[in-house]
Chain A
Amino acid sequence: MVGINLDRSKQLTLLILLLAIVGLAAITFAVQNIKPIEMEIGAIEEPMEGKLVKISGSIENIRKSKSGNLYWLVGDGNNITVPLLDGKFKKLTAKRGDTVDIIGLVSIYNGEMEIMPKEIAIR
């Protein structure tokens, strides 16, 4: 059996490297298993910026920017903008009045609250 002889300093460096990799694996696991907070649109406020939330509502309006990006205005009594900047949402065929469930991050753009979607389900 071949053994690897490492001095104490190298052993410590190797241990730190392993811990860094384990830490990254744990973060990956946490990111994949994070549960969104289910909430009504009206309850979304500025301090929640960066939080993962789940909202449900109907598409009140669909706007297309000059650069071709789609923006939904989703409402459940209160409204919030949902920018569909990610390419994976470009194939969605939703229309005004459709009810959608959206999981995404709360963000603020030019002072307005938005949901940056990660998952969208059309009912």
Chain B
Amino acid sequence: MLDILFFIVIGALLGIVVGFIPGFSSNNLSMLVITYGLISSDYHLAVTAVAIEISSSFFEFLSPMIFGIGNDATALAADVAYSGITEESFKRSVSIVISGGLIGILVAMPLIFFAEKVYPTVYSSLKPLVAWILSFLCVYMAWIERTWKKKFFATTVFILSGMMGLLIKNSGLISSNYLLLPVFIGLYGFSSILSKRHGKEELIQDITFVEKARSTAIAFIASMFASLIPGMKRGQASAVALQIGGAIKREEVLFILPLVSLAFATLSIFILGSTGRVRSSLTYDIQEVVGNPYFSQTVLFAGSVAITACISSVILIFVAKPIGKLLSKINERYLKIFGFLIAATLVINFTGFYGALVAFTATCIGLLSSRFGIRSVHLMGVLLLPSIISSVIL
């Protein structure tokens, strides 16, 4: 038991580093650990992979909140939190992220007992409806923009970003490991840095119990939905949650994103255990080292998720104060320039000229959404339009 705890702590600490470095995914590190046989026991390896994934899922929200650089699951946090950083506002953002993540794990946990029975039935009934459900959500999201002009702009931005998604998906232009890096750095990172969506006066506020309850229900439904459907990942799950949510406060967005991310990670383990289906990079790693886990092993992984979440939350609370204090002292303009330089370096280093081209186009589309004054969730067309078309074809 102590050995398991030891590897959970190791994984949690590694996850902090992975989560904080923009562009580095937990899967990259887990694959390094697996490939080079750094941990000899299969179970220790799997537990470490779980801890890396869960811990990095918490800490990867720091990068968009500080530098404005996020990935498919966190980019929208850059949009809502990366502006007018004060110590208090930053601490509040972090505490919303922590509560979202912990609730995500909590609501997903009971599914461990029902996954085997529920998933095959729900999967077969949902599969033919996926394209319709996603299309409906996209139309609904454009529809709730207030004026006809904005409805038109929202549709335009959705189509432009969707076209970009369709063009680059399976194109061979950029390695699939880094495919979404220039896309999300452009759509949400660069565009947030270059435009200012929110002023200093719009600081992050607390969210009420009712808002939390509503957001939890929305995010859980979206995570369940996405975890069932092939090709849907946590990025799509976040987009679906925000579309179901409609016109929600940005604090709720900040609550929903980690909730979806952590619930999706937890549910993907249960799906692997109950159906043998690989639904995330984490479950791919688990299957690589231990095969399809038995129920007792799934329980062990669920326990690892819970313990890692607690460790990560405590560390995140602990570091939020000094980081917030530091950020409030740094000139926002310098922070933006620094964020821009990091993001540009990442894009050019990992994806080369074509990545830079994609990032440039994505930045223009991201800027359009800001200039049109519409919700940035329409930019998620980059993931949703290809998903809709794949669902129709399959």
Residues on A lying within 8 angstroms of B by beta carbon are: 9, 12-13, 16-17, 19-21, 23-24, 26-28, 30-31, 34, 36, 46-52, 105, 107, 110-111, 116
A15 nearest CB neighbor, chain B only:
B364
Query: In the bound complex, do residue B367 and residue A50 qualify as a contact, i.e. CB atoms below 8 Å apart?
Result: no
Digitize B26-43: 1 where CB-to-A-CB distance is under 8 Å, 0 elsewhere. 000001000000000000
Taking CB atoms, residues of chain A closer than 8 Å to B372 are 13
Contact A24 B160 (CB under 8 A): yes
Shortest Cβ distance from A31 into B: residue: B171
A9–B370 CA distance with the chains assembled, in angstroms? 12
Q: Are A105 and B364 in contact (CB under 8 A)?
A: no
Given A16-B364, A20-B364: A27 and B278 within 8 A (CB)?
no
Contact A51 B164 (CB under 8 A): no
What chain B residues lie within 8 Å of A116 (beta carbons)? 170
For the complex, give the distance between the alpha carbons of A27 and B167 in Å.
7
For A20, give the chain B residue with the smallest CB separation: B364
Determine chain B's interface SS by DSSP, over half rule.
helix
4 nearest CB pairs, A to B = A50-B176, A23-B361, A52-B172, A20-B364
B256: interface (CB < 8 Å): no
Tell me whether A13 and B171 are in contact in the complex, defined as CB-CB below 8 angstroms, given that A27-B357, A50-B179 are known contacts. Answer: no
Q: Assuming the A-B contacts A13-B372, A50-B177, are A31 and B167 also in contact, with contact meaning beta carbons closer than 8 angstroms in the complex? A: yes
> Any chain A CB within 8 A of the CB of B298?
no
- By the criterion CB–CB under 8 Å, are B368 and A34 in contact? no
- The residues of A that contact B278 with a CB separation of less than 8 Å are 110
Query: In the complex, which residue of chain B has the Cβ closest to the Cβ of A104?
Result: B172
Known: A17-B368, A28-B167, A50-B175. A23 touches B360 (CB 8 A): yes
Please name all residues of chain A whose beta carbon is closer than 8 Å to the beta carbon of B288 when the two chains form the complex. Answer: 111
Q: Give the chain A neighbours of B354 by CB distance below 8 A.
A: 27, 30
Whether B172 lies near A105 (C-beta < 8 A) is: yes
Task: Number of B interface residues at 8 Å Cβ cutoff, please give it.
Answer: 30
Q: Which residues of chain A are within 8 angstroms of B360 by Cβ–Cβ distance?
A: 19, 23
Q: Do A24 and B163 touch across chains, with their CB atoms under 8 A apart?
A: yes
| Closest A residue by C-beta to B354 | A30
User: Does the CB pair A20–B172 fall under 8 Å?
Assistant: no
Q: Apart from A13-B368, A23-B357, A36-B172, what are 16 other A-B pairs with CB-CB below 8 Å?
A: A17-B364, A20-B160, A23-B361, A24-B160, A24-B163, A24-B164, A27-B354, A27-B357, A28-B167, A30-B354, A50-B172, A50-B174, A50-B175, A51-B172, A105-B170, A110-B287
A22 CB, nearest partner CB in chain B, Å: 8
Question: Which residues of chain B are within 8 angstroms of A9 by Cβ–Cβ distance?
Answer: 371
Residues B329-378 near A (CB distance < 8 A): 354, 357-358, 360-361, 364-365, 367-368, 371-372
How distant is the Cα of A12 from the Cα of B288 in the complex, in angstroms?
51
- Chain B 155-175 near chain A by CB (<8 Å), digits 1 or 0: 000001001100110111111
Jot down 10 A-B pairs with beta carbons below 8 A, ordered by A.
A13-B371, A16-B371, A17-B364, A17-B368, A20-B361, A21-B160, A31-B168, A34-B171, A50-B176, A111-B284
Q: What B residues does A111 contact at CB under 8 A?
A: 284, 287-288
Closest A residue to B174 by beta carbon equals A50
| Chain B nearest CB, measured from A15 CB (Å) | 9
Q: How far apart sit A20 and B368, CA to CA, in the bound complex (Å)?
A: 9
A87 CB, min distance to chain B CBs, angstroms: 8
B residues 260-302 with Cβ under 8 Å of A? 278, 284, 287-288
User: Would A12 and B364 count as touching, CB distance under 8 A?
Assistant: no
Task: Report chain A residues within 8 Å CB of B170.
Answer: 105, 116
Known contacts: A16-B364, A50-B179. The answer to whether A27 contacts B173 by CB under 8 A is: yes
Please name all residues of chain A whose beta carbon is closer than 8 Å to the beta carbon of B284 when the two chains form the complex. 111
Q: Specify the chain B residue showing the minimal Cβ separation from A107.
A: B176
A70 to chain B, nearest CB (A): 16
Closest to A9 in B: B371
| Chain A residues within 8 Å of B171, by CB | 31, 34, 52
Residue of B nearest to A12 (CB): B371
B361 to chain A, nearest CB (A): 3
